Structure 1
Amino acid sequence: MKVFVQVPCLNEEKTLPLVLESIPTAIPGVDSIEILIVDDGSTDRTIEVAKEHGVTHFVRHARNMGLARSFRDGVDYALAHGADIVVNTDGDNQYPQDRIGDLVAPIVAGRADIVIADRQTSKIAHFSAFKKLMQNVGSKVVNIAAETKLPDAASGFRAYSKAALYRLNIVTQFSYCMETIIQAGNKRLRIESVPVTTNAKTRESRLFKNIWQHMFKSGLAITRSFLMFKPYVILGWLGAIMLLAGLIPFLRFFIFWVQGEGAGHIQSLILGSAMLVGGLLCLALLVIADLLRTNRVLIEDQLERIKEIQYGTDPMTADTQSPNEMTEREQTQGLT
């Protein structure tokens, strides 16, 4: 079994040695550990420092492409080079790399597809009270969308099995963290959490300028995921509320009309009509979203099969596949 530890970097020459020196060289149940540097447009000596520490695997971006693209490109490289498990850490040394073995263990044991480190954000000293609150709220919203019970949905210190990576498709340009949880939860992948203690802060985050930008972009990613996997939560409830709200002005107009004063309250009909039209539009969009969801499932099934052809069948899932499932797939391939 081969584990790839990918380290996304953007000008991390000062902290990268701390990261590389703390990555374990042996993990029970793992045959080899490879380190992959994903250079997202660094202009300092990040690559040279990595080579000095014996790193031989690199993915380089000519300019900054963002964390989500770095993660996706790193995963593609790792799978192409035989990775069975991909661990993601960070180049600023905020995560305790010596706990990588604990992240990998549930996957090696076969009881988890994804393992996410719980940073225990309530105990992080440099997090303000407001940031701790928002981290907690964000995790709860993601858990609702994914039907999970994870304490730290925003943590980027994670381990993914090959089977999980076959089923996940990154579409956001901001951060993959919450999107992959929502996808994994709705695809019934097994997710575990491991509590860790983060290292001392070395620099400010480069992913966002301030907490408000982070909240806005994370909110967009969560909303998009809701619309992809649970469109009825947003469109269904919004449509129902607008339909009910639209009936109130009509009822108000009817009362005045019965009293013989309807002529002066035409605005109630206008407002009610607008609300009813909005509600009907939401329901129409819900039907379209549901049809798109069916199309997305079919496309993702094809992408999974393409990944198996490109990177090979995951041995962990092949061993657990039932004879009936094998026969069904072989019959399907034979028909095509």
Structure 2
Amino acid sequence: MKLIIQIPCYNEAETLPLALAGLPRAIPGIDCIETLVIDDGSDDDTAEVALRCGADHVIRHPRNLGLARAFQTGIDACLRLGADVIVHTDADNQYPGRYVPDLVAPVVAGRADMVIGNRQVQSIPHFSPLKKRLLALGSWMVRNVSGADVPDAVSGFRAYSREAALHFTILTRYSYTLETIIQAGKLNLGIESVPVTTNPPTRPSRLQRNMWHFVKAQAATILRLYAFYEPLRTFSYIAAPFLLAGLALWVRFFINYFSGESGVGRFIQSLTLGTGLLLVGTLIVLFGIQADISGKHRQLTQEVLYRLKKMEIEEKK
């Protein structure tokens, strides 16, 4: 089996040597280990440092496209290079390379298609109590959306089987971590987590400018992905208050009408407003049905892309 370890980089000339030096050279069940560095439009000499430090493959984006695009570029390149297993890690040396065999083992054994390194967030000393609670909340939300039991949803230390990698098409721009979990959950791919530790931070995070930015970006990503993969349910939740309020106003009108209460005409506004609310709710449900139909077409498109990627790889063998 061939393992490729992909590392996205953006101005990581200083920390990349540490990350590359810590990677394993031999793993049980793996015949070949290669490294792929994706230089996401760096302004420094990241690509040259990667080659000097022994990276087997280097891909350069002409400008900075973001982590999600760099991840997709790496996955596509690894598949073209014949990878059976892909490990994704960061260039800032956050994740110790000694855990790569632990990530790979469930994939090699055929038990999982995705293995996520659980950083055991509650034990990380440089994370504030607020950040720990927010990460736990985010992981809980992702578990509910995806149906996958993942304790550390935003961990970027992961291993993927070739089958999982063939299915992934990243649509969000902020990060790949949440979307890959949700896609894997919807596709019923096997997902496992293994405990890992982290190294002390070497630089501030580039994905989060501050705590509010992190919360806003992650929450928006989760909501967007939920609406994308569960459109009918999402629109039904939006329609429910309108339908319930409209129904309540109709009930109020008819109760007064059939009770024979004098001056029933003064309740006609309940009927009018209730009808308007019911119409709005019904329209929202219809939009949800249309979105659900579009979602089925998206699934067919993803299946076509999966088959095309698989055919391309098999032709190169």
TM-score range, shorter chain: over 0.9
Supply the distance in 2 between the matched residues of 1:191 and 1:180 (Cα, whole angstroms). 11
Deviations 1:16-67 (A, max 9, x none): 1110110001111111111111111111121222122111311111111011
Deviations 1:93-118 (A, max 9, x none): 11112101100011011111110000
Change (3 A) 1:271 1:127: farther
Supply the distance in 1 between the matched residues of 2:277 and 2:123 (Cα, whole angstroms). 46
**Contact 1:226/1:233 (8 A) holds in 2:** no
Secondary structure of the corresponding residue to residue 18 of structure 1: helix
Is the counterpart of residue 142 in structure 1 residue 142 in structure 2? yes
**Contact 1:162/1:314 (8 A) holds in 2:** no
**Candidates 285, 298, 309, aligned match of 1:307:** 309
- Deviates most, 176-185 or 288-297: 288-297
Residue 8 of structure 1 corresponds to 8
Change (3 A) 1:270 1:60: farther
Change (3 A) 1:244 1:11: same
**Contact 2:50/2:58 (8 A) holds in 1:** no
**Contact 2:40/2:70 (8 A) holds in 1:** yes
Supply the distance in 2 between the matched residues of 1:122 and 1:221 (Cα, whole angstroms). 23
Supply the distance in 2 between the matched residues of 1:314 and 1:179 (Cα, whole angstroms). 29
Supply the distance in 2 between the matched residues of 1:25 and 1:253 (Cα, whole angstroms). 76
Residue 52 of structure 1 corresponds to 52
Residue 275 of structure 2 corresponds to 273
The size of the alignment, in residue pairs, is: 315
Supply the distance in 2 between the matched residues of 1:2 and 1:262 (Cα, whole angstroms). 78
Change (3 A) 1:313 1:277: farther
Deviation at 1:138, TM superposition (A): 1.0
Change (3 A) 1:82 1:195: same
Structure 1 segments of 4+ aligned residues over 4 angstroms from their partners? 253-258, 261-267
**Aligned-residue CA RMSD in angstroms?**
2.0
Supply the distance in 2 between the matched residues of 1:184 and 1:66 (Cα, whole angstroms). 22
**Contact 2:232/2:289 (8 A) holds in 1:** no
Supply the distance in 2 between the matched residues of 1:271 and 1:77 (Cα, whole angstroms). 57
Which consecutive unaligned segments of at least 5 residues does structure 1 have? 316-336
Supply the distance in 2 between the matched residues of 1:108 and 1:5 (Cα, whole angstroms). 15
Deviations 1:224-279 (A, max 9, x none): 32223322432223323321122223334455665334555565445433422231
Which consecutive unaligned segments of at least 5 residues does structure 2 have? none
Residue 189 of structure 1 corresponds to 189
Name the amino acid aligned to 1:81: L
Name the amino acid aligned to 1:221: T
Change (3 A) 1:285 1:60: same
Change (3 A) 1:70 1:145: same
Residue 222 of structure 1 corresponds to 222
Secondary structure of the corresponding residue to residue 27 of structure 1: coil
Change (3 A) 1:268 1:311: same
